[in-house]
Amino acid sequence: MTIVDIGLPRRLVEFTLDGEQVTVPEGATILSACKDMPTLCYGDTLEPANACRVCMVEVEGSRTLVPSCSRKVEPGMVVNTDTERTRHSRRLVLELLGSATDLSTTPQVADWMADVGADPARFGPDAATVAQPAKVDNVLYVRDYSKCIMCYKCVDACGDQWQNTFAIAVAGRGFDAHISTEFSAPLPDSACVYCGNCIEVCPTGALSFRREYDKRAEGTWDESAQSATTTVCTFCGVGCNLTLHVQDNEIVKVTSPHESSVTHGNLCIKGRFGWQHVQNP
Q: Which is nearer to ligand SF4, 80 or 165 (CB)?
A: 165
Q: Tell whether residue 207 is a contact of ligand SF4 (CB under 6 A).
A: yes
Q: Toward ligand SF4, which CB reaches closer, 24 or 149?
A: 149
In angstroms, give the least distance from the CB of 106 to ligand SF4.
9
Binding mask 151-190 for ligand SF4 (x = CB under 6 A): xxxx--xx----x-x-xx----------x-----------
**HSE-up of residue 34 (Cα within 13 Å, Cβ side):** 22
CB of 40 to ligand SF4, least distance (A): 8
Cβ contact 44:258 at 8 Å: yes
The residue among 109 and 157 lying less far from ligand SF4, judged by its C-beta, is 157
Where does this chain touch ligand SF4 (CB under 6 A) — which range of 19-27, 92-100, 130-138, 142-150? 142-150
Smallest distance, Å, CB 24 to ligand SF4? 28
Side-chain-facing half-sphere of 268: CA atoms under 13 Å: 10
> Is there binding between residue 97 and ligand SF4 (CB under 6 A)?
no
What is each CA distance from 234 to 176, 184, 223, 239, 271, in whole angstroms? Answer: 43, 35, 26, 8, 8
C-beta closer to ligand SF4: residue 53 or 153: 153
Beta carbon of residue 166, minimum distance to ligand SF4 (angstroms, whole number): 8
- Considering only 31, 37, 79, 150, the residue that binds ligand SF4 (CB under 6 A) is 150
Nearer to ligand SF4, 163 or 256 (CB): 163
Of 144, 149, 56, which is closest to residue 101 (Cα–Cα)?
149
Give the largest CA-CA distance in the chain.
Answer: 65
Does position 149 interact with ligand SF4 (CB under 6 A)? The reply is yes
Q: Which residues contact 276 (CB under 8 A, 6 or more apart)?
A: none
Burial 84-123 (b: 16+ CB within 10 A, else e): eebeebbbebbbbbbbbbbbebbeebeebbeebebebeee
What is the C-alpha separation between 163 and 167, in angstroms, rounded? 10
Chain-centroid distance, C-alpha 135: 19
Is residue 94 within the footprint of ligand SF4 (CB under 6 A)?
no
Q: What is the contact surface with ligand SF4 in residues (CB under 6 A)? A: 148-154, 157-158, 163, 165, 167-168, 179, 192-198, 201-204, 206-207
